Structure 1
Amino acid sequence: MSDRTLKLVLCWHMHQPEYRDRHAGEFMLPWTYLHVIKDYVDMVAHLEAVPEARAVVNFAPILLEQIEDYSNQVNNYLLERTPLKDPLLAALVAPEIPLDPEYRLKLLHDCRKANRERQIHRYPIFRKLTEMAEWVEAHQESINYVNSQFVGDILVWYHLAWMGETVKLNDGRVQRLIEKGCAFSPNDRMELLEIIRDLLSTVLYRYKSLARKGRIELSVTPYAHPIMPLMLDINCALDAMPNARMPALEQYPGGEARARWHLDKGMATFKHFFGIEPQGCWPSEGGVSEATLKLLSEYGFKWTASGGNVLQNSLLASAVDETGTIYHPFQWQSADIACFFRDDGLSDLIGFEYSKWHADDAVADLIRHLENIAGHVDEESVVSIIMDGENAWEYFPDNGYHFLQALYRRLAEHPKIELTTFSECLNQDIRIRPLARLVAGSWVYGTFSTWIGDVDKNCGWDMLGDVKKVFDNVASSGRLSELELTKAEMQLAVCEGSDWFWWFGDYNPGEAVSDFERQYRLNLTNLYRLLGEEPPPYLALSFTQGSGAPAMGGAMRRGNEI
Structure 2
Amino acid sequence: MSRPLDLVFLWHMHQPDYRDHASGDFLLPWVYLHAIKDYTDMAFHLEQHPQVKVTVNFVPVLLDQLEDYEQQFTTGQIRDPLLRLLARENLNDLNVEERDLVLTSCFRSNHHSMVAPYQAYKRLSDLYKMLEPGGSTELAYLSGQYFADLLTWYHLVWCGESVRREHNLVIGLMSKNEGFSHADRKWLFDLIGQVICGIIPRYRKLAESGQIELSTTPHYHPLAPLLLDINSARESKPDISLPQSKCYPGGKSRVQAHLLSAQKSHQTRFGVTPHGIWPAEGAVSTALLEVFAVQECRWTASGEGVLANSLRTAEHYLPERAQYLYRPYHLQGAASGVRCFFRDDRLSDLIGFEYSRWNGKDAALHFISQLEAIAQQAPEGEAPVVSVILDGENAWEYYPYNGYHFFTDLYSALQTHSTIRTTTYSGYLDRLDEAEGNKQLAKEEELPRLVAGSWVYGDFSTWIGSPDKNRAWDLLCIAKQNYDLVMASDRLNEAERLIAEKQLASCESSDWFWWFGDYNPAHAVESFDRLYRSNLMQLYRYLKLPVPAILNSPISQGGGLPESGGTMRRGS
Say whether the fold is shared (TM-score over 0.5): yes
For residues 463-519 of structure 1, the C-alpha deviation after alignment (integer angstroms, 9 at most, x for no partner) is: 000100000000000210000000000000000000000000111110000000000
2:65 paired residue number: 66
1:441 paired residue number: 453
- Once the two structures are superposed, the pairs formed by residues 216-235 of structure 1 within 5 Å of their partners are 216-235=212-231
Give the superposition deviation at 1:104.
Answer: 1.1
Residues 3 and 383 of structure 2 are in contact (CA less than 8 Å); yes or no, is this contact kept in structure 1?
Answer: no
Residues 58 and 282 of structure 1 are in contact (CA less than 8 Å); yes or no, is this contact kept in structure 2?
Answer: yes
Give the superposition deviation at 1:138.
Answer: 2.1
1:400 paired residue number: 403
- Once the two structures are superposed, the pairs formed by residues 403-552 of structure 1 within 5 Å of their partners are 403-429=406-432, 431-552=443-564
User: Moved runs in structure 1, 4+ residues, more than 6 A?
Assistant: none
SS at match of 1:428: helix
1:292 paired residue number: 288
- Once the two structures are superposed, the pairs formed by residues 143-542 of structure 1 within 5 Å of their partners are 143-319=139-315, 321-323=318-320, 324-334=323-333, 335=335, 336-378=337-379, 379-429=382-432, 431-542=443-554
For residues 22-59 of structure 1, the C-alpha deviation after alignment (integer angstroms, 9 at most, x for no partner) is: 11111000000000000000000000000111100000
Residues of 2 paired with 1:117 and 1:343: CA distance?
29
Give the superposition deviation at 1:109.
Answer: 2.1
Give the superposition deviation at 1:322.
Answer: 4.3
Residues of 2 paired with 1:488 and 1:465: CA distance?
15
Does the alignment pair 1:91 with 2:85? Answer: yes
Residues of 1 paired with 2:529 and 2:157: CA distance?
27
Root mean square deviation of aligned Cα: 1.0
Question: TM-score, length-normalised on structure 1?
Answer: 0.97
Residues 330 and 339 of structure 1 are in contact (CA less than 8 Å); yes or no, is this contact kept in structure 2?
Answer: yes
Give the superposition deviation at 1:75.
Answer: 2.2
SS at match of 2:520: coil
Residues of 2 paired with 1:29 and 1:452: CA distance?
24
Residues 7 and 417 of structure 1 are in contact (CA less than 8 Å); yes or no, is this contact kept in structure 2?
Answer: yes
Residues of 1 paired with 2:101 and 2:64: CA distance?
27
Code of the aligned partner of 2:451:
V
Code of the aligned partner of 1:458:
N
| Percent pairwise identity | 47
Residues of 2 paired with 1:15 and 1:463: CA distance?
24
Code of the aligned partner of 1:395:
Y
SS at match of 1:146: coil
Instruction: Name which of structure 1's ranges 426-435 and 50-59 shifts more when overlaid on structure 2.
Output: 426-435
SS at match of 1:418: strand
Give the superposition deviation at 1:145.
Answer: 2.1
Give the superposition deviation at 1:271.
Answer: 1.3
Residues 506 and 546 of structure 1 are in contact (CA less than 8 Å); yes or no, is this contact kept in structure 2?
Answer: yes
Residues 60 and 224 of structure 1 are in contact (CA less than 8 Å); yes or no, is this contact kept in structure 2?
Answer: yes
SS at match of 1:253: coil
Does the alignment pair 1:558 with 2:570? Answer: yes
For residues 407-454 of structure 1, the C-alpha deviation after alignment (integer angstroms, 9 at most, x for no partner) is: 111111111100001111100015421000000000000000000011
Residues of 2 paired with 1:547 and 1:90: CA distance?
31
For structure 1, the residue ranges without an aligned partner over 5 or more in a row are none
Give the superposition deviation at 1:102.
Answer: 4.1
Instruction: Name which of structure 1's ranges 521-530 and 402-411 shifts more when overlaid on structure 2.
Output: 402-411
- Once the two structures are superposed, the pairs formed by residues 41-120 of structure 1 within 5 Å of their partners are 41-77=40-76, 82=77, 84-97=78-91, 98-120=93-115
Residues of 1 paired with 2:281 and 2:516: CA distance?
16
For structure 2, the residue ranges without an aligned partner over 5 or more in a row are 433-440
Residues of 2 paired with 1:157 and 1:74: CA distance?
21
Give the superposition deviation at 1:537.
Answer: 0.3
SS at match of 2:213: strand
Give the superposition deviation at 1:135.
Answer: 2.2
Code of the aligned partner of 1:524:
L
Residues of 1 paired with 2:159 and 2:133: CA distance?
28
Residues 5 and 384 of structure 2 are in contact (CA less than 8 Å); yes or no, is this contact kept in structure 1?
Answer: yes
Residues 12 and 388 of structure 1 are in contact (CA less than 8 Å); yes or no, is this contact kept in structure 2?
Answer: yes
Residues of 1 paired with 2:461 and 2:468: CA distance?
12
For residues 382-411 of structure 1, the C-alpha deviation after alignment (integer angstroms, 9 at most, x for no partner) is: 000000000000000011111111111111
Code of the aligned partner of 1:468:
K
Give the superposition deviation at 1:321.
Answer: 4.1
Question: TM-score, length-normalised on structure 2?
Answer: 0.96
2:437 paired residue number: none
Code of the aligned partner of 1:512:
A
Code of the aligned partner of 1:164:
G
Residues 306 and 442 of structure 1 are in contact (CA less than 8 Å); yes or no, is this contact kept in structure 2?
Answer: yes
For residues 101-157 of structure 1, the C-alpha deviation after alignment (integer angstroms, 9 at most, x for no partner) is: 343133122110101010001211111111112223222212322211110110000
SS at match of 1:340: strand
Residues 364 and 406 of structure 2 are in contact (CA less than 8 Å); yes or no, is this contact kept in structure 1?
Answer: yes
SS at match of 1:477: coil
Code of the aligned partner of 2:392:
G
Residues 375 and 383 of structure 2 are in contact (CA less than 8 Å); yes or no, is this contact kept in structure 1?
Answer: no
SS at match of 2:561: coil
Q: 1:135 aligns with which of 111, 130, 138?
A: 130
Residues 325 and 344 of structure 2 are in contact (CA less than 8 Å); yes or no, is this contact kept in structure 1?
Answer: yes
Residues 521 and 539 of structure 1 are in contact (CA less than 8 Å); yes or no, is this contact kept in structure 2?
Answer: yes
Give the superposition deviation at 1:99.
Answer: 3.4
Residues of 2 paired with 1:145 and 1:435: CA distance?
66
Residues of 2 paired with 1:297 and 1:102: CA distance?
50
For residues 329-355 of structure 1, the C-alpha deviation after alignment (integer angstroms, 9 at most, x for no partner) is: 100112111000000000001101111
Code of the aligned partner of 1:465:
C
Give the superposition deviation at 1:172.
Answer: 1.1
SS at match of 2:290: helix
Give the superposition deviation at 1:315.
Answer: 0.4
Residues of 2 paired with 1:384 and 1:100: CA distance?
50
Give the superposition deviation at 1:290.
Answer: 0.5
Residues of 2 paired with 1:332 and 1:136: CA distance?
61
SS at match of 2:140: helix
Residues 240 and 313 of structure 1 are in contact (CA less than 8 Å); yes or no, is this contact kept in structure 2?
Answer: yes
What is the number of equivalent residue pairs in this alignment? 554
Residues of 2 paired with 1:348 and 1:212: CA distance?
30
Residues 105 and 137 of structure 1 are in contact (CA less than 8 Å); yes or no, is this contact kept in structure 2?
Answer: no
Give the superposition deviation at 1:186.
Answer: 0.7
Residues of 2 paired with 1:101 and 1:7: CA distance?
56
Residues of 1 paired with 2:554 and 2:124: CA distance?
33
Residues 333 and 436 of structure 1 are in contact (CA less than 8 Å); yes or no, is this contact kept in structure 2?
Answer: yes
